[in-house]
Chains A and B, each alone.
Chain A
Amino acid sequence: MLNLLLLLDIVPGPANAATPVPETPQGPWMGFAYFGFCAVLAVVGAIATVASPNPIRGAMGLLLMIISIAGLFLALHAQFIAAIQVIVYAGAIVVLFLFVIMLLGSDAQTPSDQRGRIPRFGAAALFAGLGLAALTLLGRTMAKPKLPGDVGSDFGSIDSIGKVLFTDMLVPFEISSALLIVAVVGAIAVARGKHGELAEKGALNK
């Protein structure tokens, strides 16, 4: 799908090291429009997620936001992260949410909020204040962030990530396979356990 987008020239291709400036082949406006489109969609999706009273609509808003952010990653030439964003978040996590919503029934509602206005707005004000304080603290004390130097033209591409993953990072990559195995075996052990023990209990009762 990514290659298709690249072919259609909707998405800026990998930056050429010789010509670092233009965002897209069509000039800066096209890139700006693309960014604006994705950003507005992401914000709309985020608001829909929080504000929608219907859980299904909330999940769909989340999906919209995730895909728009994947679009933003594409504009940053981070194809791999964009693909992972779509596969993991849109593919797996939103589907998980939908499963839970379906299990609960799509008309499941949280009981109406009994808390008064003061705690609610108080909490919002508290957290806004804390966030603001943290931001000013960081802004005052931190040195100006150094911009990363010239990264290669294939930085963040699937090729280069694959190369790093199977050479420099081979050890952690192999260890992560142990993590996956233990998760699978553990899930089976926990799920199968109930069956065996309860069946045996039933047999004892007879």
Chain B
Amino acid sequence: MLLQAFAISPLLMVGIGAMLLMMAEAFSKVRGGLALGAAAVCFAGVACAAGVWMYGVETIPGIDAFSPWLRVDRFSLFFDALLCLGAGLSCLMAGGYLPEHNLDRGEFYSLLLLSTFGAMILSAAGDVLTLFLGLETMSLGVYCLAAFRRASARSSEGALKYFLLGSFAAALLLYGFALLYGVTGHTDLQGIGDAMAKGNIRNPMAIMGLVLILVGLAFKVSAVPFHMWTPDAYEGAPTPATNFMAVAVKGAAFAMMLRVLLTAFGDPRSASWASGWPPALAWIAVITMTVANLVAGRQESVKRMLAYSSVAHAGYILVGMVATMHSATQASAGVLFYLLTYTVSTAGAFGALILCGRRGAEAVTYEDLAGIGRRHPAAALPFAFFLLSLAGVPPTAGFFGKWFVFRSAMEGGFYWLTIIAFINSVIGAYYYLRVLVFMYMREPAAGAPVATPMRSGYVTAALILSAVLVIALGLTPTKSLSVVFQAAAIFGG
């Protein structure tokens, strides 16, 4: 009993921590410590996941007590740690951003933690019922975080778009699951997978269900052409919330995608090029990368550029997803490693963007950043560093993330897909380097508003933590690679 509670301790930590913070926010007059408390809860969640991992989650007796609702395995522990890391970094950023921009309302942290709780449920769900509950818990929290700046019309617009399209996507997903239940009589992913392996995939109702599920999943990972909400929602939300959406929500959505596609549709027929999901996913990946990179290059707002860049990264990850049809373990390990590097690089970039601006002198457009590298080198340097990692320049983490995903695509024989992805990452380098050009080689026009960096221990702490992780993942990827391989081993084959 105690060991079972230990096995789900990351979940309990975040869930109970969210409740306690909510109480603390409601009954205490002290404002300052909430960000620290929320970040501590998240990092404690990381520590719990690491503890269960090292104890050996397979050896815990009665670990099946939660199945099929929740699968407590190395895959879900990896995502517990990853999502808690992303959430913890967002909390630290919020500790600096919210007071600076006069948004310091305590509900932010309880919403963020509850949303993280939903994301962790989503990554552990082994049944469509818990999957849907986790998805909605996560999404409802994020809709409200996106609408957090109520005085800003842009924030409300973005949040409303996100809410409507997100609900629509959830409904499509649910419809797909309902059709699958009609075909197979199962709601647990393993049961659906067993029924599909018996040839049920040829049933038109099952195909319809698969198509609807793919569309719903593509909405949630914001792949083109289902990405329309992304730039508006990302731009309107407060930047720490944007970071949470880009990092944790996207990570959990990919966890859901891996589990659904590889467990429920992992049989040789459904995962084949001739009669399954891989070609659809491959084309979505191609359109996503190309459109997002081309549009991102034309943005004037840096935050919007980062939003499109996160769409483009979803495209690279989808390339890795396609490769899972040949080697489920190796390719999904590549996807997990990419998610890890993407998480730390993106969190760092958003943190640096926060650090570059203060109230009334925010860093919004490229012009705002002109010359900041010379005026405030300490604020510009981390931004440049994380952008290089996002662009995939060695020896940063981003390089190895792309390397492993592209390599697994090559080994799967998808040369054309790899070439398109490679060309796209070159296009992507253009708009990341454009920020560097503005920061270091331009001077602001006379009298034009420029960004002034803020000072915040919280944001600095988040930046240092992400920078250490980016360098560590870039220089010594071996250790983390063995971790992602163990996490991906649950898919077998």
Check if A142 sits within 8 Å of B118, measured CB to CB: no
Chain B residues whose CB sits within 8 angstroms of the CB of A192 once the complex forms: 105, 107
B149 within 8 A of A: yes
CB-CB under 8 A for A171 and B137, given A178-B15, A189-B105 = no
Chain A residues whose CB sits within 8 angstroms of the CB of B137 once the complex forms: 175, 178-179, 182
User: Shortest distance in angstroms between B356's beta carbon and chain A's nearest beta carbon?
Assistant: 23
B139-165, CB under 8 A of A: which get 1 and which 0? 011011001111100000000000000
Those of B103-117 within 8 Å (CB) of chain A: 103, 105, 107-108, 110-111, 114-115, 117
A36 within 8 A of B: no
Query: Residue on B with the closest CB to A146?
Result: B185
User: Shortest distance in angstroms between A198's beta carbon and chain B's nearest beta carbon?
Assistant: 6
User: Shortest distance in angstroms between B342's beta carbon and chain A's nearest beta carbon?
Assistant: 25
User: With the chains together, A187 CA to B107 CA distance in Å?
Assistant: 10
Check if B150 sits within 8 Å of A175, measured CB to CB: no
Chain B residues whose CB sits within 8 angstroms of the CB of A190 once the complex forms: 144, 147-148, 150
User: Shortest distance in angstroms between A182's beta carbon and chain B's nearest beta carbon?
Assistant: 4
A150 within 8 A of B: no
Check if A141 sits within 8 Å of B203, measured CB to CB: yes
B121 within 8 A of A: yes
User: With the chains together, A135 CA to B136 CA distance in Å?
Assistant: 32
A4 within 8 A of B: no
Chain B residues whose CB sits within 8 angstroms of the CB of A181 once the complex forms: 19, 114
B134 within 8 A of A: yes
User: With the chains together, A142 CA to B374 CA distance in Å?
Assistant: 70
A129 within 8 A of B: no
Interface residues of chain B: helix, strand, loop or mixed (majority): helix
User: Shortest distance in angstroms between A194's beta carbon and chain B's nearest beta carbon?
Assistant: 4
Partner of A179, one of B69, B136, B150: B136
B33 within 8 A of A: no
User: Shortest distance in angstroms between A197's beta carbon and chain B's nearest beta carbon?
Assistant: 4
A201 within 8 A of B: yes
Chain A residues whose CB sits within 8 angstroms of the CB of B130 once the complex forms: 171-172, 175
Query: Residue on B with the closest CB to A194?
Result: B150
B147-187, CB under 8 A of A: which get 1 and which 0? 11111000000000000000000000000000000000000
User: With the chains together, A192 CA to B148 CA distance in Å?
Assistant: 10
Chain B residues whose CB sits within 8 angstroms of the CB of A123 once the complex forms: none
Chain B residues whose CB sits within 8 angstroms of the CB of A187 once the complex forms: 144
Partner of A176, one of B108, B115, B133, B149: B133
User: With the chains together, A179 CA to B135 CA distance in Å?
Assistant: 9
Check if A182 sits within 8 Å of B118, measured CB to CB: yes
A103 within 8 A of B: no
User: Shortest distance in angstroms between B175's beta carbon and chain A's nearest beta carbon?
Assistant: 14
Check if A185 sits within 8 Å of B111, measured CB to CB: yes
B376-400, CB under 8 A of A: which get 1 and which 0? 0000000000000000000000000
User: Shortest distance in angstroms between A175's beta carbon and chain B's nearest beta carbon?
Assistant: 5
User: With the chains together, A179 CA to B122 CA distance in Å?
Assistant: 12
User: With the chains together, A172 CA to B107 CA distance in Å?
Assistant: 25
Check if B148 sits within 8 Å of A185, measured CB to CB: no
User: With the chains together, A176 CA to B15 CA distance in Å?
Assistant: 12
A162-180, CB under 8 A of B: which get 1 and which 0? 0000000101100110110
Check if A137 sits within 8 Å of B204, measured CB to CB: yes
Partner of A172, one of B115, B117, B133, B203: B133
B66 within 8 A of A: yes
B70 within 8 A of A: yes
Check if A179 sits within 8 Å of B115, measured CB to CB: no
Partner of B121, one of A175, A193, A196, A197: A175
User: Shortest distance in angstroms between B340's beta carbon and chain A's nearest beta carbon?
Assistant: 26
CB-CB under 8 A for A189 and B107, given A175-B133, A182-B114 = yes
A200 within 8 A of B: yes
Check if A141 sits within 8 Å of B204, measured CB to CB: yes
Check if A186 sits within 8 Å of B143, measured CB to CB: yes
B129 within 8 A of A: yes
B197-213, CB under 8 A of A: which get 1 and which 0? 00000011100000000
Check if B140 sits within 8 Å of A193, measured CB to CB: no
B22 within 8 A of A: yes
B478 within 8 A of A: no
CB-CB under 8 A for A178 and B118, given A171-B130, A186-B144, A198-B151 = yes
Q: Closest 8 A-B residue pairs measured CB to CB?
A: A186-B144, A189-B107, A193-B150, A197-B151, A194-B150, A171-B69, A182-B114, A179-B137
Knowing that A185-B111, A190-B144 are A-B contacts, what are 12 other residue pairs whose CB atoms are under 8 Å apart, sorted by A's residue number? A175-B133, A178-B118, A178-B121, A179-B136, A179-B140, A181-B19, A186-B107, A188-B107, A189-B108, A193-B149, A197-B102, A198-B150
26 A-B contacts (beta carbon < 8 Å): A141-B203, A142-B203, A142-B205, A169-B129, A171-B66, A172-B69, A172-B129, A172-B133, A175-B130, A175-B137, A178-B137, A179-B118, A182-B111, A182-B118, A183-B140, A185-B22, A185-B111, A185-B114, A186-B111, A186-B143, A188-B107, A193-B147, A193-B150, A194-B150, A197-B151, A198-B151
